[in-house]
Chains A and B, each alone.
Chain A
């Protein structure tokens, strides 16, 4: 092994590159996205590799305890239990949860097992971050992904950030926004909270929670009234414009809904529409709502009527959460899509896969999504690399129900999800294996092995090939061979190989043949819809009466810069934990006075779903009438809302009505 191994950060979806050396991390100055920089999580990435808590051998549950077993025994038992469930209750009784932290090759094999045994009940954490993006952008633009690369932001003249706190969640993206500002670009941030991202703004729109559609429709209203729309783009490249009626969304009315001044709404509209290249960046502040799909639709409508898409610096950038959430979805680890975004309802498209896989029949129709699994009377559940108990409120609250089925968890740590399992399989971490990861900007990068997994831990791909063999399927177990099959199954990946994905910065899909340079900007000449046109679709604001005398405040959730999702990795980094050690709740000073809470108090926050304790931080940064809690700690999950966006099955994790009081 050479002295330094290039790798890609295992945390967020920015896809930053760095080297792993014998003594630690070396920065990769020539990486196209991060140019050597890393956020604190990237700097702490190696902490998980040789951590004492790593799972080292397979374990089987006996009563309340565990015994160590051999791989042979573990895999045989797994196959036996899966076959028993299939025999006795059929494919409806089994389900799979893939991982946005595993490679493309692993997710591909994982979903292939699910489909070959006859179920579409396979999902991954994308359900809880960008399922509305998948539904809305696929319908409207044809491709459910970021339209432009991150570095393109530097070319924008106006950047609208809505529902994204990227300075904390995707810090390296801020680098490119700052470069745009250096050229005089205007940055608009729409967020109820004053976040470090809002510090970047020329115009901060501190709107009321859940009023994004009203704001965007209001901007469209101004644009149409002032004739700032792009008529020729609308005519030549889109359909459905005639149905877009936003005459109700006058600045005055929108002002009363959003709490913003009419002047700010007009200003935002003009800045966005008049600039020579504008970009919309959004994240979970848009998607994690019951109206998540409509929120995304509104954003895309705005871009389409202004023709701010399909050019360098002009596009729509949904920032994905995890390092391979785009890839896991491209690979079909979703209840509603097969690999290559083939709908589970389209038997014609599935037919191609049936031939490729030499399968008799493949399941049709949406399978169970993660939230539906606890209530589904499952007999067998296979979880690969996901701490679903600490990231999905429904599962969290109904974990007891999951215990009724035979549960396999393949993990690097004993997470709260693994603690429920009957069988725990130790997996290799990202730097102990090989394969490709697809970052938020569709950049596919090959990761090399920098070290050996601890104990008997094995790469997921090896485990899956062993499982498949026991079920009677002959799967390749080398990442390169699996990638060659992905070339056949996923059109956008047709030309991707170890060679181009392994080059510095990898390659951006679609890459239709091996010598293709990749496609950083989508939709340049035509959209990827069947007729090549984008669909404009009207959406409307539905007032949400969430608060009540009993629950007078709105709880907002999100992340902080030092932690990552359920915390199973970052909570094991000393350097991160000591800087952000405990659950806290941000409270506005007026609300603090109103409810008798002082800075530093231990408080109880209660929603209709549960109650949690936290340390109060009183800060004027928090908008009056709202609280904020980071979701890295199990408590937040216990009180998050269970309402769903029915289009995408996205839980409303962002907001919940609540009350606060001192703990004593």
Chain B
């Protein structure tokens, strides 16, 4: 299944993804940090294949389901273990566990709204193939 991948070189730090996600869910589940004022890095749930959040979730509220980590609010005790377990700090508590649900019926709103096409949705091999194609085009242009 497709996941959201980030091309950090493209990100212009505009925070549109944040504002869009907040518009959709009432609380942003992606946040853009700036490193040394010189590079912006959006942090969000990567739907890990070995998800630490699901591993520490005692109630089964967070659970690996195929390529995605699914969340069932009915089982959640708000213990907060997942918040600390996520290596990206991508889970927050705002009356309920706030984490990415791959919204948008196909293409998540953060991906569509990103002006810079820094966030892309795709299978990992498709994404890396297009990254390689771009790198090759740039190299070819430089050699011209």
Binding site for B on A (CB under 8 A): 24-25, 27, 29, 34, 36-40, 42-44, 157, 167-168, 171-172, 174-175, 178, 181-185, 194, 196-197, 199-200, 561-562, 575-576, 579, 619-621
Contacts and interface: CB of A to CB of B under 8 A. Distances in A.
A621 B14 contact: no
Contacts of A619: 37
A570 B23 CA distance: 15
Interface in B33-81: 36-40
B112 A620 contact: no
Given A27-B109, A171-B116, A562 B38 contact: no
Contact of A200 (B12, B15, B112): B12
A40 B141 contact: no
The interface centre, meaning the residue of B19, B38, B113, B115 with most chain A CB atoms within 10 A of its CB, is B115
B92 to A, nearest CB: 15
Nearest to B109: A27
Nearest to B28: A575
Interface in B1-32: 10, 12-16, 18-20, 22-23
A178 B10 contact: yes
Given A174-B115, A175-B115, A183 B14 contact: no
Contacts of A168: 12, 14
A196 B140 contact: no
A186 B14 CA distance: 22
Contacts of B103: none
A403 B144 CA distance: 64
20 contacts: A27-B113, A29-B112, A34-B115, A38-B113, A40-B16, A40-B19, A43-B19, A171-B14, A171-B16, A172-B115, A178-B116, A181-B138, A182-B134, A183-B137, A184-B138, A184-B141, A194-B37, A196-B14, A575-B19, A620-B36
Nearest to A167: B12
B30 to A, nearest CB: 12
Contacts of A579: 15, 18-19
B142 to A, nearest CB: 6
Contact of B12 (A42, A174, A181, A183): A174
Contacts of B38: 194, 199, 621
B83 interface: no
B47 to A, nearest CB: 22
Nearest to A29: B112
Given A37-B112, A171-B14, A178 B117 contact: yes
B115 A39 contact: yes
A171 B39 CA distance: 16
Contacts of A197: 12
Interface in B108-139: 109, 112-117, 134, 137-139
Interface residues of B, number: 31
Contacts, number: 100
B137 A171 contact: no
Contacts of B37: 194, 619-621
Contacts of B109: 27
B121 to A, nearest CB: 12
Interface of B: 10, 12-16, 18-20, 22-23, 36-40, 109, 112-117, 134, 137-142, 144
A24 B23 contact: yes
Contacts of A575: 19, 22-23
Nearest to B104: A27
B24 to A, nearest CB: 8
Nearest to B133: A182
A199 B14 contact: no
Contacts of A196: 12-14, 40
A174 B10 CA distance: 9
Given A38-B115, A197-B12, 9 more contacts: A25-B23, A37-B113, A167-B13, A182-B134, A184-B141, A185-B141, A194-B37, A561-B13, A579-B19
A620 B109 CA distance: 33
Contacts of A576: 19
A172 B112 CA distance: 12
Contacts of A167: 12-14
A575 B114 CA distance: 17
Contacts of B112: 27, 29, 36-37
Contacts of B140: 184
Contacts of B22: 575
Nearest to A16: B115
Contacts of B15: 40, 561-562, 579
A621 B16 CA distance: 22
A38 B117 contact: no
A38 B116 contact: no
A199 B14 CA distance: 12
B113 A43 contact: yes
Contacts of A43: 16, 19-20, 23, 113
Contacts of B23: 24-25, 43-44, 575
A175 B20 contact: no
Contacts of A29: 112
B19 A174 contact: no
Contacts of A42: 16
Contacts of A39: 14, 16, 115
A167 B134 CA distance: 21
B7 to A, nearest CB: 9
Given A40-B15, A196-B13, A199-B38, A174 B116 contact: yes
The 5 closest A-B pairs by CB, nearest first: A184-B141, A167-B12, A40-B19, A171-B115, A621-B37
A93 to B, nearest CB: 46
B105 to A, nearest CB: 11
